[in-house]
Structure 1
Amino acid sequence: MEPITSVAIGYAADKLVSVAESLVKTHVIERWSRYRAQTFFEAFCTAIVDVSATDDELREKLDELMSDDARSQVVFEAYRSVCLSKSRSIGPRVIAFLTAEIVLSGSAASEDDEQIFSAAEALSDNEFEELHAFVHAELEKAESPPSSGAWFHVEIRKETSSASSSNALPYVPPLDHALYVGRWGAKLKQLGLLDDEVQERSWRYGVDTERHIDEGGIAREVKWVLAIGPAARRLATFAQRAGKGTDRSAMDRV
């Protein structure tokens, strides 16, 4: 038997790559692209017409909206985001709901809208759920709800430290979003939907023999505060609405 030549090996490798490429395209790329697209269009249609609308009424409404170049462009850009969405279910629905709002209003996407589109593309389903749970819990604890265009501030952690006159206070690092908020926090900060600040308060203290303080120094209280922008709160509201429709019905039809 003749030894396997490099040509034969190369031919076999090419065939394997071709088969793998075909399988991945059919069972992975096409399958999940179709699932995301179906999820998007289902949510979009329910957002622009009443659920009791007939097929003809839906078709008429879509024809009316899509005949406008600006509106059809909004839908096209939204569909592009859906195809790239990290989320399988909630992200495409969020994009659909926001797209429906813009299309029905006949206006262009605002800066906040663009931030929400980017976030809907970047977050996973679990991150959407964590975002909504966090924002909802913090708003529930607030004494009064923030106005629609205002940033909402939340104290994430607080720490008190001290140092004698002969020592320096420790370095204060910025808020670690991934550690104390979640990976969604780090993503939203990068996209401009969240911000944070460090608030410091310091005071001097003297010798106190009764409290066994033999040397004076300085004490410091540090608060790490998360600022939640109006776009982030809208995103959380969309995520709650989208999460209610998350089930396996569409997946079963893929």
Structure 2
Amino acid sequence: MDTAVRTADVPPIARPECVALGAAETARTADLLAALRPDEWRAPTDCPAWDVRAMAGHVLGMTETFTGARRMMTDMTRGGRRAGDGPFIDGLTSLQVEANAGLDTAELVRRMETAGPRQARWRGRVRLLRAMPSKEEINGATETWRLGFILDVILTRDTWMHRVDVSRATGRTMVLTPGHDGRIVAHVVAEWARRHGRPFVLHLTGPAGGTFTQGTDGPTITLDAVEFCRILSGRAPGEGLLATEVPF
């Protein structure tokens, strides 16, 4: 059995680690997309409005949005206008899907391969903009995130979760390793634990899994590591402590 890790001992993800994780995740996503057959691009995903092709357009758009300050500010301004009174993220992702809808899949993959390393490098260089606030809805409440949290954590989580989505939609086995995927999952576990603050023992199975604890006399939960993240992202129902969502 894995040695249990206290969630308080899981280190934060920050520079330069976020650069390595971001670059690796966009590369794995590009590899997955490059391997798809023509019919697989039309498969429905766990995001009801998007098939695989539309989801890939969003992922490419989000990757390219964060390759430079001017591009980021332009896209965020346009996304806010598109959203109107609705959630900002819906406006931004809608624009990304629309902007990339006309690309053939080979060009989409090529641009993903190019933008991934650029995004990772820029995320590691950003200094002054890191304190910029952003309002986000999670667990029924409005939170204020700093751009640094989005750059260091959320962009990689978002791409990772969409790689999960595409793998499930196409029936392809997801590439998972302890050093990359296990690190992302462990950080999700630690944030989940902080958000609900309750004791537990969590056994996550699979290559990205591990055993995590917080406090004493809490419930014992056993789940596949990827399924655990799907539940916390709202893609599958969760009860008890698993009803506490974590942003992806």
Work out whether the TM-score is over 0.5.
Answer: no
Larger Rg: 1
